[in-house]
Structures are given as structure tokens and as C-alpha cells.
Amino acid sequence: MNAPPQRQAIKPLRIGVIAHLRHPIRAPFMGGMEAYTHRLVELLLARGHTVTLLATGDSDPALPLLPILPVGYEADFPAARWHDTPALHHWLDGEWSRIGGLLEGLDVDVLHNNSLHPEPLRIARQHRIPIVTTLHVPPFHTLREAVRHMTAPWMLTTLPSAMQASRWWDTPPDTLRTIPNGLDLQRWRFVAQGDGSAVWCGRMAPNKAPALAARAARAAGVALMLCGAIEDAAYFAAEVEPQLGDSVTYGGHLSGAVLAAAVGRASVSLFTPMWDEPFGLAAAEALACGVPIAAFDNGAAREVVGDAGRYAAPGDVAGLAAALRQASSIPRAACRARAEARFSEAAMIEALEAAYSAATFCAPRARSLATTHALEA
């Protein structure tokens, strides 16, 4: 484990990190949210905090794990069939109602909530538990209503990109902070020169659009490796597999040094969000390796990549092929410099520690006020 600098900004805290429960928190990671949560726990431990990870029981046993579901619910409710269905929402509400009792009695100073469910917010407001909630996805109705209305001074919210604020609020609250995701820059090492190929990393799913990346690479005459978990098998079979062969290959679900090496070898990384992507960890990781980006101009892509990439309108394969050709001329050192300046782990963890400190500072005052009101009643 590569730790950030050990400068301790605040006193050691007892922190409960609540994971999203769809997938386990273990490598190879299904997506950026799982990678973020795993690394967050490692970093907090390295900074001297006491951490409890509330996640699925099939998560990494090396972490300080408190299982709150036996396995990730994708095993029983695959997204390709159950995403945003009443049946899934009903099941999740029931599970979180049970988990809520555990949160009430958890011996922590602060919760870091990555669950994407309203229940931790309700528990935190009712019981005056300091909480920092990170919103990893664009807003959906139940969570947006909870974030907007379950508010208190000890309840802070973070976003990985500034552009997401207007999606969640008409007027962003004072308790909102923008904290970009941080990278282990020792793992995602700079590679001075690529081999002329392109790489694409992410979940094999329509909203990530690997099939469009493959079509663009073929149009540009550039070899492409696709890397990532097959989330939607039907989509992969119908849209991605027909693109494979000759210059387009599927490298599998890679992790660790193998994935970093595959990214670093490339001359360009394709980033193709067909949804309102709140950050784009794969794009930031490519920049850290010195790999310029050809991207669909969607979500936070331009905020993350900036002038280290070239852009096409979402879904425009011909435009993406042109961006792929153009991006290869961007200096790799400039890509690395952007990652170092904007996405360091030290900056992320220090900003989160400041948020934890602010939440815990407000909570005793809230409890005192409640006690005063009770005495006056």
C-alpha cells in the first residue's frame, strides 16, 4: 500500500465508511466507486484513523470490514434486468431499514456515506451523527429529495466535480464541497512514450459505450484494447463482440499493476460516457500515465480532462475518430502534470479530513441545542 504524506491535519477519528452495496469492495474493481472506497479506507488507516468499512461480506478481507450484506446485490438483482425497478427499490429499502439500526449504535465519530441510499441520511439527522455524503452518480429522485431535505449543520455533502452541483440543487448549500477523486500516482506511473495503440477502460455497459469506442478506433485506423468487467452480457454479445478481431481486442477485467501497464502502453485513451458521468476515474488514471484522452463531451469529461484531451459530441463516432487522431499529438508530460496538479491522493484525503472535522464540530452544538430545548419544554 502506498500511503500519502503522513502530515495529520486533524486528530485521529473513528470513521465508519459506508459502501455502496451493489458490488464487493475488492479488486478487480467493478467500477470507480468500488476502487474509490477501497483506496479511501487504506488512506484513512495510513493517516492514523480507526476505520470500520460497512460493506458486503465478499469484500476484501484485509480491510476492517463489518459485513452488512452477505454478498453484493448484483448477484441477485443484475442491473441489466433490475435497474431502477420498483422490486429492487422495495428490496433495498427493506435491507436499509434493517441496516439503519446498526448505524444508530455504531461507535464512530463520523460516517462517510457512499451508499447512494437515503437511510443513512435519515439516521444521521435523527440521531445527530456527523456524516459526510459523497454523491458518486447523477441525481435520481429519492436520493435528491433526501439530500435536499434531510439537512443539518453536521451533514456535509461532497461532489467529485463542480459541474454536478447544478444537477442536485438550484442553489447549492453551504455544506457542499467539491473534492475531486484522488489517484495513487505511484501506481499510475508516467510512461514517456506510447506504442501507437489506444486503450479503453470501464464497465461493458451501454452507458459506458465501449462499442462506440471500438467503432471510432476502427474508423481512425488505430488498434484498440478494451478492458473492464462485463456488466451487461447481452450488450457485450450484441454490440461489443462483433467489433472484436484484428485491431480491436478485449483484454479482460484487469486490475492493479497489470491494468496500469496496459493503460500506460497506449498512445491515447478513449473515454466515452453516454451518461452524465460525475467524474471519470478511468480518464484521470490515463492522464496520470501520460496518456492523452479522446472523449465524448459529456458529464464531467471536460472538467477532468481539460486541454489534455480532444472531444466529440456524445455518440458521434466520426467525431471521436477525429479526436483520437488529434489527441495523439498532445504532450504526455502535460497529461501527467494535470493529474499531479488536480488529482493527488494527499489533496483528496486532506479535504475529506477537513469535511469530517467540520461535521464533528457542528454535531455537539446541535446536541447542546436539542438538550436546551428539551429542558425548556
Domains, the chain, in order of start with CATH, read 14-182+344-376 (3.40.50.2000), 198-340 (3.40.50.2000)
Compute the residue count for the chain: 377
Amino acid at 49: H
Cβ atoms 352, 320 nearer than 8 A: no
- Mean pLDDT to the nearest integer, 178-206: 96
104 Cβ contact list (under 8 Å, min separation 6): 123, 127
Banded pLDDT at 364 (limits 50, 70, 90): low
pLDDT at 167: 93
Banded pLDDT at 9 (limits 50, 70, 90): low
Cis before residue 28, ω within 30 degrees of 0?
yes
pLDDT at 2: 52
Banded pLDDT at 374 (limits 50, 70, 90): very low
Q: Which three cell numbers stand for residue 35?
A: 476502487
- Residue 165, pLDDT above cutoff 50: yes
Cβ atoms 174, 200 nearer than 8 A: no
Amino acid at 24: P
Cβ atoms 147, 176 nearer than 8 A: no
Please tell me whether residue 67 adopts helix, strand or coil conformation.
strand
Q: If you search the block for the grid coordinates 483520437, which residue do you land on?
A: 324
pLDDT tens, position by position, 210-269? 999 999 999 999 999 999 999 999 999 999 999 999 999 999 999 889 999 999 999 999
Please tell me whether residue 172 adopts helix, strand or coil conformation.
coil
Banded pLDDT at 325 (limits 50, 70, 90): very high
- Report the mean per-residue pLDDT for the chain: 92
- Mean pLDDT to the nearest integer, 181-188: 95
Closest CA to 263 of 294, 308, 225, 320: 225
